[in-house]
Amino acid sequence: MSTKTVLILLIVALSSCNHKSQTNYIQFIDQKIGTNTSTTLLADGSQQIQAADGQTIIGISAPFGMTQWTPQSQSGQQKCVAPYYYGNIYTEGFRATHWLNGACEKDYGSISILPSTLSQELKFLPTKRPTFSLIYFEDISPAYMSVGFVQEQLLTEVTGSKRCGLFRFSWLAPVDPVIMIYINNDYDKGFIHIDLENQEIVGYNPVSKFYRNKGESAGIAGYFVAKFSMPINEYGTFGNFEKEKGSTTRKDQRQIGAYVSFQPENSEPILLKVGTSFTSIENARKNLETEIEDWNFNATKNKLEKQWNEMLGRIDIETTDSLELSKFYTALYHSLLHPRLMSDVNGDYPVFNAADRIQNSGEFNYYDDFDSWNTSRAQMPLLSLIAPEEYKDMIASLLQKAKDGNWLPASPLANNFTMASTGDYTSSIIADAAAKGFDFDYKLAYNYLKKNATDIPTAGELNDGKGRPGSESYLTNGFIPLEEPLMNFPQTESQVARVLEYSYNDWCVAQLANRVGENADYNTLLANSMNFTNVFDEDREWMNGCYADGSFVTDFDPDQAQPFFNNRTSRQYTWYVPHSVPTLIELLGGKAQFEEKLSSFLNSAQYKHADAISQHVPYLFNYIGDWATTQKLVKAILTREYGADVGGLSGHDNAGQLSAWYVLSSMGFYPTCPGSNEYQLSSPIFKKATLHLNKKYYSGKRLILSTDQEAKSIIFNQVTLNNKTIGNSITHRDIQLGGELHFSKKQTYSKE
């Protein structure tokens, strides 16, 4: 019998013993979805023009966990390179990752763990680490993973908790088994130490800034403590491409790491548990001692499975289509990974945008990695429905960042300001939470939202990612002229894109101003929210670039990508007026011309569903009374743009935004304008969907969305809420009160 055959049998045997048959929601998740190049189609039926990766990974962690554990197929922490891509048969170990799932950012503060044997060459050199492996995909869930290393005759199993990971290494015939831990730092920074007295390895990976000032400290680090289930035998460290047996410490060298070996008896598995933290090694140890107290692998796995099943079970889907179950619960899983928990079990967290300062959050959990430009549109609104307790703490975290950083961050990542956003979408998130009635200090929040909207940041503040670029011209002229490049930002122009986005952001801030009784501010902000009209070219009937004298670009093609549209086209950006669609209809010449242009856009390759700026657009037909077309388009996108395979996402998932669109749209409703408390209806693709709601926030306790039959391609013409016929939208109050939203099909349909 070959070594490979023996290993496969070992995988099957161990997995059968240790991974009980699931009978609940977790069994429907397929973590392969979105882990490689897109295989979906464009609106015109053609293949994606450019290869687009979902950028998702296989991740073991709790919902919104601090750290995910993933097989590593890509080394380093480069921007837009995920630590894992499906199809690579070589594994470089298992990474404790802080990858923004589905995004084009970079990992930070990560370490990797690679099991091997001393009888073979120690794989301390990066070029030697790739190891032929078999990932047992049938057994993977968010709570468990098993990977076989053929040459080493080794099965690695992984489970974990919110802040910690637990590994079980089973060698078929262990000969000097060894475990390596190495720091993934691209700037030759980091620390690792073998503590022989406590039989553990500790260390940290410093985090550098993302955009401007690359390489400079971000003021945080990924700290860890690793403990083993048996005594360490041999040990050593490596760095600068050299290893030293018997050494215990390395710091600030290239590719540093440590290794320890063991002498198990009777093929006894070796267990490793790792605590992580963003504040200190001591708190990483506290996190580990609290979350994984013993060495009971199965108990830890079962506890994590229970957490996921409870969270996923907040939406119950009834359908006979197994592929749709897989797509739905995988999308729901992807929607529940971010924002990331950043505080420790004792409440300690790193102060936002501050060098190595620690505070205590007290009564709330502190979160980070919001990717607000994307997630404000669907993912955060989804969390407000199904994870309101966590969502409340996320809002508290955003306000804490504003207090600590003296500006409300537009898109906080790695606990710092960034320049990743062309708009001010944290304002949208907070205004939406206030409109829904979540409890926080509205006046305090408004002061920070107003500062973003009305204060002009200095050049130094802009360079740090604070405030709105181009705000002086925007506030003075009502637009940002093309002569004013925004040189300090990754998007050096994007003037028109910012005018459109700031207009919506101002509308959101205005809603909060009204709520706190700032009537004069409300009127001013509401007037500013109409600034999008200043970049509408009446002659060409599209949004267009505008010069300081008020004239528009004459060499104009609505299908040509332009820097002032953030390298998108006018046809793609013109529709971004979610807060004032009736005004847009009027600007475009009325309902007939609006419908013609909208249909042309949505049925062309110009519509890129993975681009969040366009994801509300299929629902705009509702605003002209054409609910049938909204349903038709949404259901076509659900089929065309989402698959049940590795290429099943049409672009980056962006911290769960693309997946959240699927979750909400497949149930039949979507928040086209967060902050308005209104959801536009499409219709469900399932026979029945039940939202089990937290009664503390939703007195009705549940909302049922039902149809007369399986509805994947059916276009309905009547909807009732608690037996009363309604139009093509519902309110957040309707969801709070609960009941049943029922979709049916009569003999005739009218657009009116």
Note the pLDDT tens digit of each residue in 351-401.
999 978 999 999 899 999 999 999 999 999 999 999 999 999 999 999 999
The tokens of 508 are what?
């959101």
Model pLDDT, residue 191 = 98
Residue predicted with more confidence, 123 or 529: 529
Fold of 357-579: Glycosyl hydrolase family fold (1.20.1610)
pLDDT of residue 266: 82
Distance CA 45, CA 27 (A): 32
Q: Is residue 12 scored above 60 in pLDDT? A: no
pLDDT digits (tens, 9 = 90+) for 206-264: 999 887 667 788 999 999 999 999 999 999 999 999 999 999 999 999 999 999 999 99
* pLDDT score of 97 more than 70: yes
- Does the pLDDT value for residue 5 go beyond 50? no
Decide if pLDDT at 17 tops 50.
Answer: no
pLDDT of residue 357: 93
* pLDDT value at 22 more than 50: no
pLDDT tens column, 465-489: 899 999 999 999 999 999 988 755 5
Q: How many CA atoms lie within 13 A of 749 on its CB side?
A: 16
How far, CA to CA in Å, does 359 sit from each of 2, 224, 343, 350, 362?
56, 19, 9, 6, 9
Residue count of the chain, please give it: 752
What pLDDT, on the 0 to 100 scale, is given for residue 611? 95
| Every domain of the chain and the residues it spans | 31-53+313-342+590-752, 61-308, 357-579
Question: Shortest CA distance to 24 belongs to which of 311, 301, 300?
Answer: 311
Average pLDDT over residues 23-42: 88
Cβ neighbourhood burial of 116 (10 Å; 0-12, 13-18, 19+): buried
Tokens of 657: 């935004």
Per-residue confidence (pLDDT) for residue 491, from 0 to 100:
54
How does pLDDT run across 527-554, given as a tens digit for each residue?
999 999 999 999 999 999 999 999 999 9
Confidence of residue 81 (pLDDT cuts 50, 70, 90): very high
Q: Which residues of 715-725 are buried (b: 16+ CB within 10 A; e: fewer)?
A: bbbebebeeee
- Strand bridging mode 702-707 / 739-744: parallel
pLDDT digits (tens, 9 = 90+) for 166-202: 999 999 888 889 999 999 999 999 999 999 999 999 9
Nearest to 573 by CA among 584, 51, 583, 665: 584
What's the confidence (pLDDT) of residue 420?
72
CATH 3.40.50.300 for the 31-53+313-342+590-752 domain, yes or no: no
Q: Smallest Cα–Cα separation from 497: which of 556, 573, 557?
A: 573
User: For 564-590, what is the mean pLDDT?
Assistant: 97
Q: Higher-confidence residue: 666 or 172?
A: 666
- What is the pLDDT, as a whole number, of residue 10? 40
Q: Is the pLDDT of residue 48 over 80?
A: no
Q: Is the pLDDT of residue 752 over 50?
A: no
Give the per-residue pLDDT at 355.
79
Q: What number is the average pLDDT over the span 717-734?
A: 97
30: pLDDT strictly greater than 60: yes
User: CB neighbours (10 Å) of residue 600?
Assistant: 12
**Given 3-state DSSP classes, what are the helix, strand and coil percentages for the chain, each rounded to the nearest 5?**
30, 20, 45
Helix (H) or strand (E) run with residue 521 in it? helix 519-528
pLDDT, residue 747, reads 53
Supply the pLDDT for residue 209.
85
pLDDT at 485: 81
Per-residue pLDDT, 117: 84
Most confident by average pLDDT, 151-155, 321-325, 430-434:
430-434
Answer CATH for 61-308 from 2.70.98.10, 1.10.3720.10, 3.40.250.10, 3.40.50.2300: 2.70.98.10
Residue partners of 417: CB distance under 8 A and separation at least 6: 353, 405, 407, 409, 410, 464, 465, 466
Give the pLDDT band of residue 403 (cuts 50, 70, 90).
Answer: very high
Distance of CA 301 to the CA centre of its chain: 24
Q: Tokens 């894109």 belong to which residue? A: 497
Amino acid at residue number 649: L
pLDDT surpasses 80 at 513: yes
Q: For 669-687, write each residue's pLDDT tens digit.
A: 999 999 999 999 999 999 9
Distance in angstroms (rounded) separating the CA atoms of residues 684 and 707: 7
What sign does the CA torsion over 382, 385, 389, 393 have?
Answer: positive
pLDDT at 21: 38
**Average pLDDT for the chain:** 92
